[in-house]
Structure 1
Amino acid sequence: MNVTLAVKQYVSKMIENSGPGMKVLLMDKETTSIVSVVYTQSEILQKEVYLFERIDSQNRETMKHLKAICFLRPTKENVENLIQELRRPKYSVYFIYFSNVISKSEVKALAEADEQEVVAEVQEFYGDFIAVNPHLFSMNLTGVARGRSWEPTLLQRSTQGLTSVLLALKKCPMIRYQLSSDMAKRLAESVKQIITKEYELFDFRKTEVPPLLLILDRSDDAITPLLNQWTYQAMVHEMLGLHNNRIDLSRVPGISKDLREVVLSAENDEFYANNLYLNFGEIGTNIKNLMEDFQKKKPKGQQKLESISDMKAFVDNYPQFKKMSGTVSKHVTVVGELSRLVSDRQLMEVSEVEQELACQNDHSNAHQNIRRLLQNPKVSELDAVRLVMLYALRYEKHSSSNLPGLMEDLNRKGVSERHRKMVQSMVEYGGKRVRGSDLVTPTDAVAITKQFFKGLKGVENVYTQHQPLLQETLDQLIKGRLKDSQFPYLGPSTLRDRPQDIIAFIIGGATYEEALTVYNLNRTMPGVRIVLGGTTIHNTKSFLEEVTATASSGHGGERSLGAGRYPSRR
């Protein structure tokens, strides 16, 4: 089960289906993101796609020498834009692909608009989600809840995205959901409805053990998105923000023009692919090795180019050298900025206390350490408020809880009222009253050893004690011990075998720490394949925005639409 590969294959097939010749790729805002995450522009250029346009762009030129490959979400707006396009076609021929199910009436409307008979093909290719990593997908949706209920349009979009993942992976699953979450039940029912309605699409070859879709709610584990991270991809997202594989570095002091925005994609960057899940200490060492390797391959001035063959060798190696040069400067810049932020914001000290709050059971020590950090002028407003949130979630019902005192400390530190109010919002969002599980499993403090070397090596010990709740949930599921009383099946189930193909989806957003958990389970559990998705992928900032929005508002497969041009469905 590989969501990146599924989307890549759809895109490749669209381009192949259009045959040889120059092409334009016509997309909407969302499908542009879907394609750009799995393919670079230069890769698509090699497939004779010379132009990328948006269907909603008003001033596109007429270019009859180009074929149009349209990859669009089946929204009313896109169908309307396409109808206008077909009435006055700008390109010679149109190959139309919808990223999800489209109604017969809309296909009929397109057929009627196609008076010049320029449409060669209309198909559904179910790439209606962002494939972030091979085992991680997102819908790029934030603010999905109104209190404890769905924002209606976002329930529909999540249903479409999730059913499209199932179709892309060719899975017709049993569904389990988190009983404590009404939103999880609603999404489960909504997905089931589509599977029932479109049963022909989901008629995949039966496997001995059916696949399983597990629907979870972020509010059951509000601790994971609040913690600082120490693996490369997760750190980048936490400290710099990673959106559709892009990082905005424009605010980095002294940044050069060509590094203001960089792309980090495991598909096209070997160093990044090899370091995604490594901790910060190891990345530092690997960056050093990358630099040394680069220095060896770097041309040593002009004096070496004495003969035609020297020059030819240089020119032959230049693209590879240039690519390596770009990789080196990009990662050195990113890791350098991460290092600066870790140092400036005292993140090692902050993270140690966060992990202690998340994993240990020593109220007095935790309280003391938070107060000490809140008095440290280098500790940022965000880090101060997240420490107090973790304390509020962890010691909500503790007999000695001193949340009012810590709130006063935040006030004295000059933390804005907006941030201070978020503490209460966080407890309302993910406190004991709403959780279906016990979040905190205390760890024996003696068992945790500090093995720091130059403040980096051993990061995996002190700074990564915490395991997301997802780890335990999936572990119980794989072992056949996940309680039906907490995670019921939707509808009758005779399934008692341990599932092998699992799609876990978190309403309210997943995290890169949870993606690491899934990556490790896939690696260490033979015969088990897990894919994780979320309405979005959170870092602390985006999670706080989600919680605030919730609080303030609450009070695979493919289908041709037939052989020939506008046939009925098969």
Structure 2
Amino acid sequence: MDVVKAVRHYITKMVSEHEGMKVLLLDKNTTTIVSMVFSQSEVLQKEVYLIERVDVAQREPMNHMKCVAFLRPTQESIEALIAELKEPKYAQYDLYFSNTLTSSQLEQLAHADEHEVVRQVQEVYADYLAVDHNLVTLNIVGCLAPGRDSWRKPCLDRTTEGVVSMLLSLKKTPTIRFAGKSDVCKRLAADVAYIIEREAELFSFRQTHDTPPLLLLLDRRDDPVTPLLNQWTYQAMVHEVLGIHNNRVDLSGVPGASRDTKEVVISVDADDFYKKNIYLNFGEIGENIRTLVAEFQERTKSHENIESIADMKAFVESYPQFRQMSGTVSKHVTLVGELSRRVESGDLLNVSEIEQEISCQSNHSEVVQKIREQLSNPKVSAQNKTRLVLLYALRYERHSNSAVSEFVEHLFREGVPDRLRSLVSAIIKYAGSGAAQRQSDLFGTRGARGIFRQMTGGLKGVDNIYTQHTPLLAQTLDLLAKGRLKDASYPFLRGSPTPDRPQEVFVFMVGGVTYEEVKAVHDFNDANPAMRVVLGGTNIHNFKSFCEEIETFAGSTGAASGRGRYA
């Protein structure tokens, strides 16, 4: 159950099957798939002479070279490959596709191979982005049809392909459960189950445990609060404040960022500091970055005096590690420095404290007064003012003294753009208490024993006011581990209940996941060594991308993928 290992295995096999130097030909999709699990230098070390894009027609012919092509079987890539085969630039082509080819596509390729340069065609199952060893995304924003509990068809097709590919790459044939009130989860479950039955030969894996693995399909609308909150652990905070896209952070707009840190890669496999600190809170990160800088300064001093051949030899031998540490220090000092600046300039501590009070406590009059103060605070951004109102609207939409209208008017007076203000009504349609697909009592308003109380434990033992909130996913996994996840709420579409809990679980959330939920899965895996959970979603959200998800549902944008538009 390691998605990075699974994708790396496929790519390694592709480029290692044939000895000698070769060209690796990719498209825009597979370029991202490969770059998530391999650095360019790692690929080049596998006798890959050059990495090219199939959609770039103006490439230098190399008739003496072999070509390994790894492509998604989209119409765009198939057409580019057909043009390539009609006028081949390389001596031989080994074609690998990240998912299943149709018979029509195979016929088109065979017809285009007039020069008989294609040696083989294979389907591999690496049709998803492996962000981390237990995290998958498809980079889809806006998967729901406007105003309806139904899919946008291209998004359903892409999601089905991604989920099926993930199962095949991990060699798992699962039972399937889904959020019972969600038609989109039910439809995805049906489509995945249909393909498993249709391609029974592909899914005829030897079972490694007595209890079959589980695919659990959830709906983002069942917990709209988690993606609205500011975050305070390192990975989640970087994504919330700066944005992580395909394990890269754009720092081009950060004051004082050096030329080498305009865009940085953050990956647990390539960065020990990031790996050790990924789930720590911001205060701990500050202390650890000081330690990292001090360690680097000590190592620098040891190389200041090179007086002999032996000194020079020792320096040269340690230079790669020295240079790597220099890059690591520079990157994380820039990241933490910018996070600290944003926290201070945007008054994020006060904003976050109020967010947690809205989410985890119940003092309406006090919350109203605090929100009024922040809406008038010139340091608080329009985005964070809107964030507070969205959380309030979800929590108190039916309160007898609800101040939603007052707050929306206040946003108008503060000059908050229409696009942000319109989200207040949109989020109620998307995931308000009256939404048909929402099956959780998110704030415990239906009694003291509601889900909210189970999620937070009533705040007992909470020693950090900024991290009181626990995502609904944490409770769902806990119930699953205890065998108490109700069949009525999460029915089976494929397979049936068993007395034993599953040992391998793939959770996929329609509408996107968050890095707070990634941490919840990490903590669950640590606490339950007999179970292994892998998390996936149509996207990995921060506030900006979640706003786009809501906006798409409201019907005011046609974008179905890409980064959020809310700056």
The alignment's TM-score, normalised by the length of structure 1, stands at 0.92
Note if 1:543 corresponds to 2:546.
Answer: yes
The residue that corresponds to 2:243 in the other structure is 241
- The structure-2 alpha-carbon separation of the partners of 1:61 and 1:398, relative to structure 1 and needing over 3 Å to count, comes to same
Does the Cα contact within 8 Å between 2:504 and 2:533 map onto a contact in 1? yes
CA distance in 1, matches of 2:462, 2:260: 43
CA shift, 1:221, in A, is: 0.8
* Distance in 2 separating the partners of 1:545 and 1:3: 27
- Name the structure 1 match of 2:55: 56
Distance 2:475 2:303 in 1: 57
Quote how far apart the aligned CAs of 1:108 are.
Answer: 3.6
**Which structure 2 residue ranges, 5 or more long, are not aligned?**
444-451, 559-567
Aligned to 1:218: 220
- Aligned counterparts of 2:512 and 2:294: Cα–Cα separation in 1: 39
- Secondary structure at the counterpart of residue 114 of structure 2: coil
Task: State yes or no: 1:124 paired with 2:127.
Answer: no
Tell me which residue corresponds to 2:448.
none
In the TM superposition, residue 120 of structure 1 has moved relative to its aligned partner by 2.5
**Unpaired segments of 5 or more residues in structure 1?**
451-460, 556-570
1:482 matched to 2:485? The reply is yes
Conserved? CA contact 1:503–1:530, under 8 Å: yes
Change (3 A) 1:489 1:445: closer
Once the two structures are superposed, the pairs formed by residues 339-378 of structure 1 within 5 Å of their partners are 339-378=340-379
Aligned to 1:135: 134
Count of residue pairs the alignment pairs up: 543
CA positional deviation for 1:66: 2.2
Partner of 1:567: none
| Equivalence for 2:338 | 337
Q: CA RMSD in A?
A: 1.7
Counterpart residue number, 1:469: 472
1:156: Cα distance to partner? 0.3
* Offset of residue 76 of structure 1: 2.5
Partner of 2:79: 80
Change (3 A) 1:429 1:100: same
Residue in 2 that maps onto 1:188? 189
Q: Give the whole-Å Cα distance in 1 for the aligned partners of 2:526 and 2:462.
A: 26
Aligned to 1:454: none
In the other structure, the counterpart of 2:446 is: none
State the distance in 2 between where 1:118 and 1:492 align. 45
CA distance in 2 between counterparts of 1:16 and 1:408 reads: 63
What pairs up with 1:285-296 in 2 under 5 angstroms?
A: 285-296=287-298
Q: What corresponds to 1:512 in structure 2?
A: 515
- Report the alpha carbon displacement of residue 208 of structure 1 after superposing the two structures with TM: 1.1
> 2:10 aligned with 1:7, yes or no?
no
Deviation at 1:378, TM superposition (A): 0.5
Q: Flag the 1:446–1:547 CA change in 2: closer, same or farther, 3 A.
A: closer
Question: What is the CA distance between 1:255 and its match in structure 2?
Answer: 2.0
**Shift in Å at residue 223 of structure 1?**
0.3
Encode CA deviations 1:193-243: one digit per residue, 9 max, x unaligned.
111111111111123101111111111111000000111111110000100
In the alignment, the residues of structure 2 paired with residue 29 and residue 263 of structure 1 have an alpha-carbon distance, to the nearest angstrom, of 19
1:143·1:550 contact (CA, 8 Å) conserved in 2? yes
Shift in Å, 1:78: 1.9
Deviations 1:10-60 (A, max 9, x none): 11111111x221121111111111110111111111112121111111101
Give runs of aligned pairs for residues 60-459 of structure 1, distance below 5 A. 60-146=59-145, 147=147, 148-206=149-207, 207-299=209-301, 304-434=305-435, 435-440=438-443, 441-442=452-453, 447=460
Q: Provide, for residues 121-141 of structure 1, a one-character-per-residue CA deviation record: whole Å limited to 9, x for no partner.
A: 221110100001111100011
CA deviations over 1:126-168 (Å, ceiling 9, x no partner): 0100001111100011111112221101100000000001001
Q: Deviations over 1:405-456 (max 9, x none)?
A: 2222222222122211111101111101121111121558774665xxxxxx
Q: For 2:275 and 2:48, locate their aligned partners in 1 and report how far apart those are by CA, in whole Å.
A: 26
Q: State the Cα deviation string for residues 472-518 of structure 1 (Å, max 9, x = none).
A: 11111221111121111115625342111111111111100001000
- The alignment's TM-score, normalised by the length of structure 2, stands at 0.93
Distance 1:364 1:279, change over 3 A: same
CA distance in 1, matches of 2:194, 2:458: 48
In the aligned structure 2, how far is the partner of 1:254 from the partner of 1:529? 42
Change (3 A) 1:525 1:445: closer
- 1:289 counterpart letter in structure 2: T
> How far apart in 2 are the matches of 1:155 and 1:16?
34
Cα distance in structure 2, aligned partners of 1:29 and 1:219:
31
Aligned equivalents of 2:385 and 2:169: distance in 1? Answer: 43
Q: Give the conservation status (yes or no) of the 8 Å contact 1:7–1:38.
A: yes
1:90/1:140 CA distance change after superposition, 3 Å: same
Q: Secondary structure at the match of 1:283?
A: helix
1:559 corresponds in structure 2 to none
Are the equivalent residues in 1 in contact too, given 2:135–2:534 (CA < 8 A)?
A: yes
User: Does the Cα contact within 8 Å between 1:21 and 1:66 map onto a contact in 2?
Assistant: no
Whole-angstrom CA distance in 1 between matches of 2:58 and 2:200: 41
Inter-partner Cα distance in structure 1 for 2:153 and 2:45: 41
Paired residue type of 2:193:
K
Q: In the alignment, is the contact (CA less than 8 A) between 1:360 and 1:444 conserved in 2?
A: no
Percent pairwise identity: 55
Q: Distance in 2 between matches of 1:124 and 1:208?
A: 29
1:392 to partner: Cα distance: 0.5
Q: 2:492 aligns to what SS in structure 1?
A: coil
Amino acid in structure 2 at the alignment position of 1:406 = F
Aligned equivalents of 1:330, 1:534: Cα separation in 2: 28
Moved over 6 A (4+): none
Match of 1:560 in 2: none
Question: 1:300, CA displacement in angstroms?
Answer: 5.5
Equivalent pair of 2:175/2:495 in contact (CA under 8 Å): no
Q: CA deviation at 1:290?
A: 0.8
Q: What displacement does 1:553 show?
A: 5.8
What is the CA–CA distance in structure 2 between the aligned matches of 1:47 and 1:299, rounded to whole Å? 36
Report the alpha carbon displacement of residue 325 of structure 1 after superposing the two structures with TM. 0.4
Instruction: Work out the CA distance in 2 between the residues paired with 1:58 and 1:500.
Output: 48
Within 1, Cα distance between the matches of 2:557 and 2:10?
Answer: 39
Query: Which residue is 1:562 aligned to?
Result: none
Residues 107-129 of structure 1 deviation map (CA, whole Å, 9 limit, x = unaligned): 34323333333223221110100
Q: Separation in 1 of the partners of 2:74 and 2:548?
A: 27
Cα 1:554–1:399 change in 2 (3 A) is: farther
Q: How does 1:31-42 map to 2 (within 5 A)?
A: 31-42=30-41
Residue 239 of structure 2 aligns to a residue whose secondary structure is helix
Instruction: Report the AA paired with residue 411 of structure 1.
Output: F
